[in-house]
Amino acid sequence: MIYTMGWDGFRNYRNLSNSRNTNSNLDKPSYPKKIRLIIPGLITDLKEKSEKLLQDYPWLNSASTSYEILEEEIVYTNAKYGTKKFGFIDLGRFDLECNIWSWSWVDNDNKYIIDAKSMIFRDYGSNKDIEVLTKANWYTTNEEKIEVVALCSRLVISRGLEIQVEGNIERYYLLLDDAN
């Protein structure tokens, strides 16, 4: 389903947190204060993008809409409304059981081909000294997870956010320009 702030689990993202473990190798890396200051605006921007997308295509979140994730696009299909395709970037996954974020460029369980698109965040983080974009895996909270996703959304000017949940894993996809 396409992410909006109205969904359970994201409605009051500032009040959400997960327990932390103590493995320092997985401690959440930091990012500069100048980025921390713009985070609320980035989250608002992501919310507005997703809401606009659902205004344009309300059937995307319909129970009768199916989706398929291919190598280059996510395809939504609805018998009444047809098909809508979006390019995407597979950001990564969040393990709900152990509260660990893993970028898609290191995700061994990723069943989709990892391409250069997901690496732009790591490269950008290396060039701008933004550790959170360069560390492969780290403990996080729901609040911090959404902050990083919102930052990535701004870096590539996404159309919205697709979150797929399978068992204890949430997968995050930034939707890009229409593929059709």
Phi, then psi, of 129 in degrees rounded to 5: 60, 50
Query: What is the distance of C-alpha 72 from the center of its chain?
Result: 16
pLDDT for the residue 20: 43
Rounded to an integer, what is the distance from CA 179 to the centroid of its chain? 19
Instruction: Report whether pLDDT(46) > 70.
Output: yes
pTM of the model: 0.81
Determine which of 105-109, 116-120, 147-151 has the lowest per-residue pLDDT on average: 105-109
Using the predicted structure, report yes or no on whether residue 119 has a pLDDT greater than 50.
yes
Sole residue written with tokens 């930034």: 174
Distance CA 61, CA 84 (A): 12
Cα 62 to Cα 24, 134, 143, 162, 169, distances in angstroms: 42, 36, 27, 14, 22
Crossing angle of the two packed helices 142-156 and 33-56, in degrees rounded to 10: 80
The span from the CA of 100 to the CA of 92, in Å, is 11
pLDDT for 122-160, tens place per residue?
999 999 989 999 998 999 988 889 999 999 999 998 999
pLDDT at position 177: 81
Determine the Cα–Cα distance for residues 101 and 118; give it in Å rounded to an integer.
Answer: 14
22: tokens are 């103590």
- Reference 136, options 170, 99, 102, 95; nearest CA is 102
**Pairwise CA distance, residues 149 & 9, whole Å:** 15
